[in-house]
Amino acid sequence: MSAVDILAFPFVGAFLKTSAASLLLLVAYFLSPVILRRLIVDKEGNRIPPGPPTRYAFLRKYAERALDAWAKQYGDLFSIWMGSQLFVVISDPQVAKDLLVTNGAIFSSRKRYYMKNQVILHNRAITASVYGNTWRQHRKLANLALNPKAMQGYAGVMDYEAHMLIKSLYEESQHGKRPINTSHFTGRFALNNMLIMSFGIRTSSNTDPLIGTALGLAMEFMELTGPWSNVIDFFEVLQYLPSNKRTRGNRLNATLVDTYGSMIVEFKDKMIRGEEVPDCLVKTLLENQESEKLDWEDVCMLSGVFTLGGVHSVSGIIQWFIAMLPSHPDICARAQEELDRVVGRDRWPTIEDEANLPYVRAIIKELQRVHTPFWFATPHYTTEDFSYRGQFIPKDTAIVMNCYTLHHNEIRYPDPYTFNPDRYLSDKLSCSESAKLPNVMERDHWAFGAGRRICPGLPAAERELWLVFSRLLWSFKFEAVPDEPISLEEYDGVSGRTPKPFRINLIPRFEGVGDILDSAEDLPL
Ligand code: HEM
């Protein structure tokens, strides 16, 4: 007798149908905690912020688009359940200030992500450290390498590296005769600055193998550590099963320790031999290793991940700048008119010219708004229950700054989808100064995060970007290669983003460009 025949008996059929329905209900009952959102309410009856009804295992690439749509549907403070983890997403400037800045004592920790923090970083490195004494110690050590006096010491190096970058682009493109992919060179620029700050060294030429290794490590880190791209972060049971991503994560950890560890060994050997070593982060770490109770892996991760972060962010945004220019000839022309008028063509812009070049400054701010490398900054984490505007944010909630929506706020930035530097023309503040403004609606943008975890490399990044952007504009015309469109929408990376690989024609603006570039040689160190 076949199954169909059995179902033909009315009682058996009805019984089986009821059983199937009951089974379905039972399965739904047990699965609902993993599928449906959980409502949490505090003693006063405040509920967690509203959000999508189902839980998510991961969010796909371009998650900022989903976040923007949810912000429009659920409001400036909404929540998403990613498996077992509650996320609260901030999409309004005042809310960002109230929570991350004013209540920074509660909103400044980090989630111990499985992939990023546990597998790759072994819970070390400043970006991963939970709020408290360890983070304070890490931040103090980072500030020793980045304080204004230290920055003054790096000023000459940054100027020189910007020179070498423009010179490399000029030579590699055979003075504008052939199109180039600039990423290797912008990567080397950012890497050399970070190597000087962290290890007191630089790569000796554009063919130094360390460039490929360091840029590869940074890219792998950005691909593996998206704040919502790994199912394994949100469904703990998966952490006990074999996984390709974890294998990649373990390999990344080993390569980070190996690559940066061998540089630290070399540095330490010099110190032991009594040779003179430059001031840098590694010197500070080694000198304070015992008093600060840092083990070997701490030193490797603190210096290696610090370097990696500063490389990827700076080179990424330079790549966005170069990618954007061919489709904005009117903006280039206006900036170049300003440069010709203020600086002239006998010399090129320096840091001292910044205050007199408001349009170039405005382009940089607009670039940081429109092409932010981190649309979700780095998520913060709460260390206490908190109620705000009648909504409940429990302890151990991941807090995300939705920079995409913040940067497209129609009141703050009218016509927000248009690249329009004019909106910053009268903004005379640095990004660090702007972040401290009492009226948060006047803050330039949120690209460097907010509150106690705000990027400590901000002054270094601003200086690097000014030198490169003003000199690129002074030196070249930027033209797309025929039949090779440059996408400003798609990107690589899930935590930090860089444009898809592209080539461009960099054409020297006038004869004298070469003379300025030839006035310095790359130094093999
Ligand atoms: C365009 C360049 C850069 C951008 C857009 C950028 C952006 C960010 C963002 C969004 C954060 C997270 C802030 C938060 O949690 O609220 C961050 C953290 C950090 N950045 Fe940057 N950054 C840049 C360059 C640099 C550079 C050049 C350095 C080092 C010299 C650096 C060092 C760090 C460190 C150490 C942290 C971790 C801070 C902490 O967790 O306390 N960054 N950055």
**pLDDT at 10 (0 to 100):** 63
Domain assignment of residue 12, yes or no: no
**Ligand 1 contacts CB of residue 373 (under 6 A):** yes
Ligand 1 center from residue 43 Cα (angstroms): 37
CATH, residue 156:
1.10.630.10
Closest CA relative to residue 78, chosen from 86, 68, 69, 88: 88
CB 114 within 8 A of CB 230: yes
Domain assignment of residue 77, yes or no: yes
Structural domain total, the chain: 1
**Ligand 1 contacts CB of residue 449 (under 6 A):** yes
Q: In testing the pocket of ligand 1, which one of 186, 311, 448 has its CB within 8 Å of the most ligand atoms? A: 448
Domain assignment of residue 1, yes or no: no
Closest CA relative to residue 359, chosen from 267, 428, 309, 260: 428
**pLDDT at 1 (0 to 100):** 44
CB 187 within 8 A of CB 215: yes
Q: In testing the pocket of ligand 1, which one of 313, 381, 497 has its CB within 8 Å of the most ligand atoms? A: 313
Domain assignment of residue 73, yes or no: yes
Q: What are phi and psi for residue 88, nearest 5 degrees?
A: -115, 130
**Residue 406 identity:** L
CB 475 within 8 A of CB 163: no
**pLDDT at 520 (0 to 100):** 84
pTM, two decimal places: 0.93
Domain assignment of residue 2, yes or no: no
List the binding residues for heme.
455
Domain assignment of residue 213, yes or no: yes
Neighbours of 28 (CB within 10 A): 11
Domain assignment of residue 64, yes or no: yes
- Looking at the CA of residue 461, tell me the nearest atom of ligand 1: 27
ipTM: 0.99
Domain assignment of residue 10, yes or no: no
**pLDDT at 24 (0 to 100):** 76
The average confidence (pLDDT) of the chain is 94
List the binding residues.
455
CB 478 within 8 A of CB 332: yes
Structural domain for 384, as ranges: 27-519
The list of the chain residues with pLDDT below 50 reads 1-4, 6-7
